[in-house]
Amino acid sequence: MTPSTTPALTLANDSLSVRQIGPWLHEVLDGVPPEESGDLASRLELAVHEVAMNVVDHASLPPDAMIRVTAEITESLVEITVTDPGEAFDPDGTSPPVAVVPQERGYGLMIIQKLVDQLSYSRLEAGNQWTLRINRIGPADRGEAERINPHG
C-alpha cells in the first residue's frame, strides 16, 4: 500500500475550530477497512482534540495564528501531526495526575498517551510539532481481531 495523505486541516486558534477535527478524521480514515476504522477514529479524535485544545489553551498563540493538522496512513500505521507557531512546551514541566490528589493540569497529556501507541513532541524553529502514531491491524491480523471482538 502506498502511503496516503489527506489535505491538511487548518484550524483557527479557538476551541470552536477544534470541532472540525472529527469530520476531518472521518475523511482521513475513509479508505481504512471498517473492522479497524471505528477504533482508529475514536482513539484519534479524542487524542488529536486534546493536543489541539492544549495548543489553544497553553501555547500562547497570537490571535491570528493557525494550527495545522496533517495525516499519513500506511499499511502499518496512522500518523497525525499537529504543528503550531506557539511558545515552547516543556515536557518535564508537567506532572502526571496522582490518584486521590486534586490536580487541574496534566490529564490531557495522560489521556493522549493512553490513546496512541507513540506520542512525540519537537520544538521547531517556528513553533511546535506533535506527532501521534497508532499502529494499524495488519491484513493477517484482521481475522484474529474479528474473532476477539466480532461486534467491532
Q: Note down the domain range covering 108.
A: 4-148
The DSSP code for 129 is: E
Residues 6+ apart with CB under 8 A from 42: none
Specify the pLDDT at position 2: 53
How many domains does one find in the chain? 1
Across 89-102, average pLDDT: 76
Instruction: Say how far residue 140 (Cα) sits from the centre of its chain.
Output: 26
pLDDT tens-place string over residues 60-92: 999 899 999 999 999 999 999 999 999 999 877
pTM: 0.83
d(CA 21, CA 38): 15
CATH of the domain at 11: 3.30.565.10
d(CA 141, CA 148): 11
Specify the pLDDT at position 81: 98
The DSSP code for 56 is: H
